[in-house]
Amino acid sequence: LDARSRFIARHPRSAELHSQARTVMPGGNTRSVLYYQPFPIAMDKGEGSTLWDIDGNEFVDLCGEYTAGLFGHSESRIHAAVHQAMTQGLNLAAVGRAEYEFANLICARFPSMELVRFTNSGTEANLLALTAARVHTGRDMILAFPGGYHGGVLLFTPQGPSPVTVPFPFLLADYNDTDSATAVIEQNRDRLAAVIVEPMLGSGGCIPAEISFLKALREATREAGALLIFDEVMTSRMSDGGLQKRLGINPDLTTLGKYMAGGMSFGAFGGRADVMSLFEGRLSHAGTFNNNVLSMAAGRVALGEIFTKEVAEELYVRGERLRTALNDRLTRLGVAMHFSGVGSVATAHYRAPTIRRPYSPTAQEEDLRELFFLDMVQTGFYLARRGMFALSLPVLQSDLDRFVDAVENFASTRRGVL
């Protein structure tokens, strides 16, 4: 209660904006992930890895726009590319050079992506990849995993599909449970079009897939004539060619999103040429903003000049070091709290390692999640309400060191309940 009262006292303008926004938007928002009690913080501006809210509070940005903010808020080359594109007209109703060059960069980095198409979001990318798989195989069923998140309408809670899941017929098997997944694939081989899986459950808690599990999915789908779709919307930052490159597994189709267009709206799906060729006449995929000039121009620079192979590797290593440092401190304290994740993305859990699949948090874990968020915000670190961080390139090592201290301080003052 104290933590909430302090939060309310520090964010009067955010509170006021929230009550105004609720008069025109249900819940006062258009992104469910940004809606939490008592009200979400409204940001005013960002620069590098710093954020300022509308009450003037300053934060180190560790949320990194849920992985889309990889470049921070003021990458000069991205700004220049977007400004240049703006001077040449926003809505040209035409294909363009940047679109081709951006696509070329993606295909060069992801060997499994022979052909690619752009969308406005990761959600659309997944809807289209699933559609392509169903048309290609002539089958209707999709296997997904509880805790998987593939976009606003493709949400699977730990208990199963959410009420907003689109009416594709879905089968479910437990994440990281090879026997259950391969049995479902085998039993449904006549109807199964695709298996869609995040190689690390992102919003499901940053839970990495075991390599043996993904390899088994690769083999079983191949044998059953179904397609394997890697949703790399969140994990594509784990190397220049995504987590698939790090793991050495090639899916049939891959979906992308988040940071790749330098922070502009973005999604893409692609993969085997024989599947993607469906879009050469047989399947339609229109979309006014699919190749919008701002995303195409920013993406070409983001991948071509900034997020190079070396930079991707450095960020991955920085993230691994940070997670190790956090977990070392927590282990030393002897508390049931740890961070799971891969590379530069991780989530806090209030139970002992290791977590292999998503779970519904207990009431106490829910309370700890809220307390952790409020405590971090109070200390000047903005992260996702669920306790997830995603590093951006400009984040300072000194801020990450302070974050490790702040987490240790949180855990040691809550020792009694952890």
Residues making contact with ligand PLP (CB under 6 A): 66, 121-123, 126, 149-151, 198, 202-203, 231, 233-234, 257, 267
Question: Residues 33, 152: contact at Cβ < 8 Å?
Answer: no
- Give whichever of 14 and 255 is closer to ligand PLP, judged by the CB atom: 255
Residue 196 Cβ vs ligand PLP, minimum distance, rounded to whole Å: 9
Residue 199 Cβ vs ligand PLP, minimum distance, rounded to whole Å: 9
Tokens 């085997």 -> residue: 272
Residue nearest to ligand PLP (CB): 122
Residue 334 Cβ vs ligand PLP, minimum distance, rounded to whole Å: 33
Which letter does DSSP use for residue 273 in this model?
Answer: H
- Give whichever of 29 and 121 is closer to ligand PLP, judged by the CB atom: 121
Residue 126 Cβ vs ligand PLP, minimum distance, rounded to whole Å: 6
Neighbours of 23 (CB within 10 A): 7
> Quick one: CA torsion of 231, 235, 240, 243, rounded to 10 degrees?
-80
Residue 379 Cβ vs ligand PLP, minimum distance, rounded to whole Å: 25
Residue 267 Cβ vs ligand PLP, minimum distance, rounded to whole Å: 6
Question: Residues 264, 295: contact at Cβ < 8 Å?
Answer: yes
Counting runs of H as helices and runs of E as strands, what totals does the chain give? 13, 18
- Give whichever of 202 and 270 is closer to ligand PLP, judged by the CB atom: 202
Distances (CA, A) of 6 to 2, 333, 372, 405, 410: 6, 27, 13, 21, 16
- Give whichever of 50 and 112 is closer to ligand PLP, judged by the CB atom: 112
Residues 6 or more apart in contact with residue 25 via CB below 8 angstroms: none
- Give whichever of 121 and 131 is closer to ligand PLP, judged by the CB atom: 121
Residue 121 Cβ vs ligand PLP, minimum distance, rounded to whole Å: 3
Can you tell me whether residue 127 is helix, strand or coil?
A: helix
- Give whichever of 342 and 411 is closer to ligand PLP, judged by the CB atom: 342
Residues 6 or more apart in contact with residue 31 via CB below 8 angstroms: none
- Give whichever of 72 and 148 is closer to ligand PLP, judged by the CB atom: 148
Question: Residues 237, 67: contact at Cβ < 8 Å?
Answer: yes
- Give whichever of 28 and 148 is closer to ligand PLP, judged by the CB atom: 148
Residue 30 Cβ vs ligand PLP, minimum distance, rounded to whole Å: 12
DSSP 317-385: HHHHHHHHHHHHHHHHHT-S-EEEEETTEEEEESS-S---S--PPPHHHHHHHHHHHHHHHHHTEE--T
